[in-house]
Amino acid sequence: MYFVYMSVTLRIYFWLLWTISGSLAVVLGGEFNESWHQWRGPARDGHYQGGQWPANLQPDQLKLSWSENLEASYSSPVVDLTQLYTSESKKSDVEQVNAYDRATGDLLWSATWNGGMKVPFFARSNGSWIRSTPIISNGHLYIMGMQERLVCINTSDGQISWELDIPSKLDTPEPSFGGVSSPMIHNGSLYVQAGGGTIKVDPTDGRMLWSSALSRDSMNSSPFASPRVHTFGDSEQLVSLGRTSLTGISLTDGKTLWEKNVPAFRGMNILTPTFVGSGILTATYGGKAHFFEPTLSGDKNWQVEEKWNQKFQGYMSSPVVVGQHAFLHGRSGRMVCLEMQSGEIKWTSTESLGKYCSMVTNGDKILALSANGKLRLMTANPDKYEVIDTVEISDEETWAHIGLADNQIFVRALNSLSVYQWGDRASNDQASAQDESRSNKLLTQF
């Protein structure tokens, strides 16, 4: 009888231990299943790969979870499964990253380093605060400051693992307009546009592995864009948009494989390269929209053909692509839908969306945040400009790219950070239902 009692008691004990552990996992962040860990999301293309979106942006669907006042930043917030990270320029010579609990908004740690600078007087209306969006990888966060200082921070405690002063390492001047490019990690290596060109870094210790197309002309060569990787034929390449040209670079040794001139007013090539099939879409300030296709010729030399161009000027907003259509916001403040096969403009928006508009798509709809604080939900409809709902989500300027994961929307305004719950927390409900189901199954064994 004693052994039967002990057997039941032990089974109940282990069941309670399992239940408490599961509950703690939820409290400590286990309820989150999705991350938004880098510039423009998981694939750097503004695509959200999660579940269905709510039908509108009404107050019963879109609710503020928490917010925090901060110093200025253009850097977009990023999240892993438990924490949210954002940057701020604390002083003229100090930059900082803060980590918050995604669910509660509790500040977990802050990491600071010497940085900051003043941009030229004619660009000062856009501020001199930090611009680069960080990336999270293998328990570390990587960010580039205004002086092109690359910083690696441990996400568990905020300790800085290493710093790389890129201008000092390359013997290049500090960028006149600040470090803008957002780091990318691919196959265990870190890439970022800096020093007027592009560099490859070992993320474990900050060693520079190669540099490509550097320039000492900081006024006209410091990059505004961020790199991506794409495969053309059998060749996987790093694609970077510099101030005057689009370039395909060897991931192995940094050699230039091909280069195509892209005219723009004062080198204002800002958009992240957008891939559609085997081609690359970009659009410039003071220039045009272009669609280029790199191919390897029979003599093993790369050729770049301009498939089409369109007299529509881009500015700072990178497009999203759904099927064979690109949705592009431009210098005029209007948005257009481009048919990618021909470059035909299918429609132009009936309203201005302001100077800047960051976009995320789920393949059916587009969530667009304008720099004036207006959030729009629209259909990804190639036949007409169709806005489902609009809400003023901030009374501040919102230049940082919007983020989205687990029905949470992350908005970094100029001097604040806000996290919104959009629709039901499906992951929580599913987790609770699964826990209840497992509990019931265990209880039936007693």
| pLDDT of 25 over the 60 cut | no
In this predicted structure, what is the pLDDT of residue 10? 40
CA distance 108 to 120: 35
> Which residues does 438 contact at the CB level (< 8 Å), separation at least 6?
none
Q: Is 168 left (phi over 0), alpha (psi -120 to 50) or beta?
A: alpha
Helix (H, G, I), strand (E, B), or coil: what is residue 103?
coil
Reported as half-sphere exposure (CB side, CA atoms, 13 A), residue 166 has a value of 35
- Under the banding of pLDDT at 50, 70 and 90, the label for residue 127 is confident
CA distance 65 to 48: 21
Sheet holding 387-392: strands in order across? 357-361, 365-370, 374-379, 387-392
In this predicted structure, what is the pLDDT of residue 122? 66
- Under the banding of pLDDT at 50, 70 and 90, the label for residue 343 is very high
Average pLDDT in the 205-211 region? 98
Vertex 254: Cα angle to 186 and 314 (nearest 5): 75
> In b/e form, how buried is each residue of 160-180, taking b as 16+ CB within 10 angstroms?
ebbebbbbebbebbbbbbbbb
Which two structure tokens, joined as six digits, stand for 434? 């699964």
- Under the banding of pLDDT at 50, 70 and 90, the label for residue 433 is very low
DSSP sequence for 356-422:
-EEEEE-SSEEEEEETTSEEEEEE--SSS--EEEEEE--SS---SPPEEETTEEEEEETTEEEEEEE
> Which residues does 246 contact at the CB level (< 8 Å), separation at least 6?
239, 240, 259, 260, 262, 269, 273, 280, 282, 292, 304
Do residues 80 and 35 make contact, with C-beta atoms less than 8 angstroms apart? yes
Average pLDDT in the chain = 89
Residue 80 has a CB neighbour count (10 Å cut-off) of 21
Which two structure tokens, joined as six digits, stand for 93? 């010579």
CA distance 434 to 438: 6
Centroid of chain to Cα 7: 53
- Under the banding of pLDDT at 50, 70 and 90, the label for residue 18 is very low
Handedness of CA 350, 269, 143, 177 (dihedral sign): negative
| pLDDT of 11 over the 70 cut | no
Q: What is the DSSP letter of 27?
A: I
Which two structure tokens, joined as six digits, stand for 396? 């501040």
Reported as half-sphere exposure (CB side, CA atoms, 13 A), residue 152 has a value of 18
| 333 compared with 22, residue with greater pLDDT | 333
324-327's contacts with Cβ under 8 Å and 24+ in sequence apart are 324/276, 325/380, 325/382, 326/274, 326/276, 326/281, 327/359, 327/361, 327/366, 327/380
| pLDDT of 434 over the 90 cut | no
Do residues 223 and 196 make contact, with C-beta atoms less than 8 angstroms apart? yes
Q: Is 267 exposed, middle or buried (0-12, 13-18, 19+ CB in 10 A)?
A: buried
CA distance 445 to 428: 26
